[in-house]
Structure 1
Amino acid sequence: MPNTVAAPVVVVAPDSFKGSLTAQRAADAVATGLRRVWHNADVRIRPLADGGEGTLDALLAQGGKRITLTVRNAAGEPCKAASGVLADQSAIVESAEIVGLTDPAGTRISIENRSTLGLGDAIRSHLDKGAQRILIALGGSSTNDGGAGLLNALGVRLLDEEGDALPPTPASLEQLASIDVTGLDARLRRCELVAMTDVDNPLCGPQGASAMFGPQKGAKPSQVATLDHALKHFADLLEAALGKRVRDLPGAGAAGGLGFALHALGATFQPGAEIVAKEVGLDAALENADWLITGEGRSDEQTLHGKTPYIACAHARSAGVPATLLSGAIAPDALPALSQVFSGCFSPAPGPMTLDAAISGAEVLLADAAEQLARLFESARAATKRPTTV
């Protein structure tokens, strides 16, 4: 007699596989594999992100409008950048899209000459469109200007001893004599700014933006102290001008100090993965679900410190749903710790292969791995549940 046990309800909620697949494409590949086993399965796709590259795509996957803005890249040159407006009319600006570390045009100059002017351009553009709430994803930036460029684009003037304007770059910050905030865009007082980041570093010091993240952006060891000193000088003057101290608040060091500028503007800070999970309706998708599959390009110990798969798993656990990790690679030394959190940790690579081969074949590999996981899941169900018969 035929087995009429219903196919399980599966939530597929990965982050992007950086350098290979967007979160949406990764989720679609997993769904393809699942449906080879359960042809009419209820697969609920919820692409996720943590505030870095891919956040815009993840948020817009569930509705909203993608728009193109003309802004300045990290080198101060005009460029086109994607942005978006969500269904609730909140705007979304992604730092990686405008001043991203992977942008060759913006990073062709050294770190001390890069600026976040383009982020300010994007915020101003959304203010022009009437935005009352703007989400700013802070991950993946190539800059280390403390948000000076963002503030400059929004009306803050950086002045030298003669009262002449200075460019908002790290190289110029030590020449600052005063900061004029009287021209700061007044519309910001009526707009809710939400910074999306999992970074809790302060602006300056050994745990600050320059020391912790500068080398990842191309800063030489000999430059770190100079960059840090420039940010401290900038903070001294800006905090004096605004009458508030925010440099030591959690997240001030995010995105090369962009978090500092956003704190100065009164932004609220929230974990990026949690915001995305809420916006895409992860909890609603988990209702009455049987299984969650999440993943990322590479999982290691950092995954357990608030990365997207960990957040997805936490939501699944709250809903009483087992969560399996399917990542491009899994660090062997992290497997014991990861196994304490996830119901199985898997990589789609069937055997030794080059990174190029893994990247180019990622969709096929993910679909094949998901199919095999589904067959294992189905076997476990068959062993524990007596099927109904007709």
Structure 2
Amino acid sequence: MRILIAPDKFKGSLTAAEAAAAIAEGALRVYPDAVATQFPIADGGEGTLEAAVAAGYEERLNAVVGPILAPVGAAWAIRPNAGGGATAVIETAQASGLAEMEPTPANALRAHSYGCGQLIAAAIDAGATEIVLGVGGSAMTDGGSGALRALGLKPLDAAGNVVPLGGGSLADIVALDTSGLDPRLAGVAFRIAVDVQNPLYGLTGAAHVFGPQKGADVDATELLDAGLRNYASVLRESTGRDVNVPGAGAAGGFPASFLAFTNATLEGGFALVAGLTGLAGQLENADLVITGEGSMDSQSLTGKAPIALADAAQGLGIPVIVVAGRILVSPEELAGHGVVAAAQLLDVAAGPDDAVANAAKYLTWATTQVLEGA
């Protein structure tokens, strides 16, 4: 039997690679002669870099400016392409992640993506001709302006001064000085992984929907939304491109700057990462798929990596087993995506806290339990 073990991260307890190892241990207890292939997956958010490295990309580390100016160490990855050039994988959260700042109203206005731009510059320096950007877990609501500033863009106020970094200053921008913008950007294809369809601004835009998660109160949210609206107008005047499109609201509007100034496309996160890592080839060779994540809930059914993988397996007639920290959807809903059996850590753990603290052990146990009962 060939078992493809392809979980997403168990947020707060296990990385996708750690989860895959624990599941593999349980699977091999039940089927000791099976060929168990561990293949961490992601949907374009946090974990995308890990999935790329597991698939053979070379991990690198750069010191960059964090979301509120404190320096951080940020990992990214690169792999040469067969036809020349190279593909780099960058997670915005590595340089500009919410984990790097306290979510307060003041910080929500100050946070920026400058460090992401520094990683992009490093990737281009290393020969990248294609850059995949995973945009989950970000701290900023700056429309990607900080990243482009690291690449030479100068946003100017009415007095001709460069505005401060951060989403709180977007409303002051009246013009963009592009004379120093890195000309190499024209030769790079940017593929931005998004799993939301929110526009850049408005009641369903970046500031109103995601700003409060980053510390924005009512006043800060309104200021950020007004800033994104103004920035979109200035971008349109400068480039002729409308950036208030579905998906542009991801990561605090990060895609907007790249849609305006580069050869950028927005793509579904799971499909992008699956193609990047070669998951399709692994799936075609499997007799059984085991996947999972920390919480299997209603959001999982809207295209998150484990269910997207289950749908792909179902299309090939391959049965799928789910093992999750907790499962908040019905067996009938899972069955509709080709899942033939499922188990949650809470069924074998002493309690929720114990399940988190001993996640790997209980994940192994839950895997043996579901396989023996399937």
Q: Partner of 2:253 in structure 1?
A: 257
Match of 1:235 among 206, 211, 232: 232
Is 1:115 matched with 2:112? yes
1:202-213 to 2 correspondences below 5 Å:
202-213=199-210
Residue 125 (structure 1) aligns with: 122
Identify unmatched segments of 5+ residues in structure 2.
Answer: none
In structure 1, C-alpha distance between the alignment counterparts of 2:118 and 2:136, rounded to whole Å? 18
Contact 1:51/1:138, CA 8 A, preserved across alignment: yes
2:22 paired residue number: 29
Structure 1 gap segments, 5+ residues each? 1-7, 378-390
TM-score (norm 1): 0.90
Moved more, 221-230 or 106-115: 106-115
Superposed CA RMSD: 1.8
Q: Which residue of 1 aligns with 2:362?
A: 365
**1:225 alignment partner, one of 218, 222, 226:** 222
Q: Indicate the larger mover: 173-182 or 211-220.
A: 173-182
How far, CA to CA, are the matches of 1:105 and 1:217 in structure 2?
8
Rounded to whole Å, the distance in 2 between the matches of 1:106 and 1:67 is 28
Higher strand share: 2
Partner of residue 287, structure 1? 284
**By how many angstroms is 1:245 displaced?**
1.4
CA-CA distance at 1:365 after TM superposition:
0.5
Instruction: Pick which of 20-29 and 285-294 moved more.
Output: 285-294
SS of structure 1 residue aligned to 2:345: coil
> 1:114 Cα shift?
0.6
Deviations 1:215-254 (A, max 9, x none): 111111332222101111111112211122122x221101
CA drift of 1:335 comes to 4.8
Instruction: Give the CA deviation at 1:373.
Output: 2.1
**Kept in 2: contact 1:301–1:337 (CA 8 A):** no
Identify the residue that residue 51 of structure 2 maps to in structure 1. 58
- What's the counterpart of residue 62 of structure 2? 69
CA distance in 1, matches of 2:105, 2:6: 35
- Residue 349 of structure 1 and its aligned partner are, at CA, apart by 2.0
In structure 2, C-alpha distance between the alignment counterparts of 1:281 and 1:164, rounded to whole Å: 47
Distance change (3 Å), C-alpha of 1:330 and 1:269? same
Asked whether the equivalents of residues 118 and 151 of structure 2 are also in contact (C-alpha less than 8 Å), the reply is yes
SS of the counterpart of 1:71?
Answer: strand
Q: Percent identity?
A: 37
CA–CA separation in structure 1 for the residues paired with 2:103 and 2:50? 21
Aligned residues: 368
What per-residue deviation string (whole Å, max 9, x for no partner) do you get for residues 251-290 of structure 1? 1101000011221123111111112222222222222422
Deviations 1:60-93 (A, max 9, x none): 1021211011211101222211111135331111
Counterpart position of 2:36: 43
Q: Distance in 2 between matches of 1:108 and 1:49?
A: 30
Residues 275-314 of structure 1, C-alpha deviation per residue, up to 9 Å, x if partnerless? 2222222222222422111111101111111101111112
**After superposition, where does 1:374-385 map in structure 2 within 5 Å?**
374-377=371-374
Match of 1:338 among 334, 339, 349: 334
Superposed structure 1 runs of 4+ greater than 4 Å apart: 105-109, 351-354
Task: State the TM-score, normalizing by the size of structure 2.
Answer: 0.93
